Structure 1
């Protein structure tokens, strides 16, 4: 358990180096950042600044090559892949720009899948509740190919929220959507945060989305840019 005064997510001098065609590439350099429970944080900065890589470290989808990443008091950097997968299943929801829905499953089945994997006996009832919360109760039996981009992202949001995660991570959640659908997703994302009391961390290029966050963390060249502000999202 994490005390109320402790960060729900904490990175200490965290770095990330990946193998490239021309040799190792340093993606993140000495990131130190604390996120408190219930906080909404926007990660902003130009393309290639390391925003998505930082989000992946927070979710244990990438492993830090230096420093430490802690979530809910647990050291993610010491976990193996199976332990990380179980931790994400139990404590995190992740929303990607490209949806990542399972094409052979209906909307309801997609949302129910993480609940079934967690052994929840009411998986389909909770999935139906989350689909209704994002306005898609009438599309529960449709497959991803039968849904618009905006509808697919709403299914992805419902899937991320269904396990009632303590931490909700979103990587450019409006990036593939037009203005109308993007605004709807923003409202739903913050609505899910409020309904479940989750800590929300998102990568965004959209200033209007960054403005809704409690705090904006600008990145540049793999480092937190202390001199930049909200304009870094533009």
Structure 2
């Protein structure tokens, strides 16, 4: 078997808060292979989103190791991590995180421009077409529904054709119809770009679409993972 795209070895995460140090993740060991789709599930507070943040280098492991595409994320500083994410990852959040003063087209083009692509706006428009929002290219987030904003966020994440696609509750703020549409688009984009997909979800229908489900409880992988 080839080397995993994502690999965590005995990774822990502890954060300092007002009430003192909080242990969030305990000894997580997990490999994700190229092209695999993995669903992270478990009760609220089980550490699902924190684990996704470790995979994306948005949180640094307190101990242990996290590697992505053979690179040790625990050895990188913030600038190195930002460049690595820009070049290799697409991240979709539950709350969209669109830039309110930018149009849909500008939001999608931004990561491409930062990566130095001269055809950033052409590629951004192509991604908006893929998610059915070509007609909304000049609209601002405040002029779009929640489902449309999440489709823009998906287009923005997939426009750089990332090797790794991370999604944190991508259907969590949407109604059933829009959630179903986002699921189809998410897996469609994964297939189109050949990305490795890891997602956090409470939605059984979304988890069932994944190749593998990893269950977390109290910051630990609960009984291994399931096919």
Q: TM-score range by the shorter chain?
A: over 0.9
- Trace 1:159-170 onto structure 2 (pairs within 5 A): 159-170=156-167
Mapping of residues 69-88 of structure 1, within 5 Å: 69-88=66-85
1:180 aligns with 2:172: no
Distance across 2 between alignment mates of 1:118 and 1:64: 26
TM-score, normalisation: structure 1: 0.95
Partner SS for 2:91:
strand
1:141 aligns with 2:133: no
Quote the offset at 1:42 in angstroms. 0.1
Report if the CA contact (8 A) 2:16-2:22 is conserved.
Answer: yes
Alignment equivalent of 1:39, drawn from 17, 36, 56: 36
Deviations along 1:30-88, one digit per CA (max 9) or x if unpaired, are: 00000000000000000000000000000000000010000000000000000000000
Matched, 1:11 2:42: no
Measure the CA separation in 1 of the matches of 2:37 and 2:196.
6
Per-residue deviation at 1:20? 1.6
Runs of 4+ in 1 over 4 A off after TM superposition: 227-230
User: 2:213·2:225 contact (CA, 8 Å) conserved in 1?
Assistant: no
CA RMSD after TM alignment: 1.1
CA distance in 1 between counterparts of 2:8 and 2:188 reads 27
1:54 — aligned with what?
51
Q: Is 2:172 the counterpart of 1:191?
A: no
Structure 2 length as normaliser, TM-score?
A: 0.98
Paired with 2:6 and 2:224, the residues of 1 have a C-alpha distance of: 23
CA contact (8 A) 2:212 2:226 kept: no
Alignment of 1:219-230 (within 5 A): 219-226=216-223
Q: CA deviation at 1:17?
A: 0.3
Pick aligned residue for 2:65 from 65, 68, 79 = 68
Unaligned runs of 5+ in 1: none
1:227 and 1:184 map into 2 onto residues whose CA distance is 30
**How far off is 1:21 after superposition?**
1.4
What secondary structure sits across from 2:11 in the alignment?
A: strand
Q: Secondary structure at the match of 2:124?
A: helix
The C-alpha deviation readout for 1:121-166, integer Å capped at 9, x for no partner, is 0000000000000000000000000000000000000000000000
Q: Distance in 1 between matches of 2:224 and 2:70?
A: 30
Rounded Cα–Cα distance in structure 2 between residues aligned with 1:20 and 1:103: 30
Partner of 2:19: 22
The CA distance in 2 between the partners of 1:157 and 1:228, in whole Å, is 27
Structure 2 match to 1:151? 148
Distance 2:135 2:52 in 1: 33
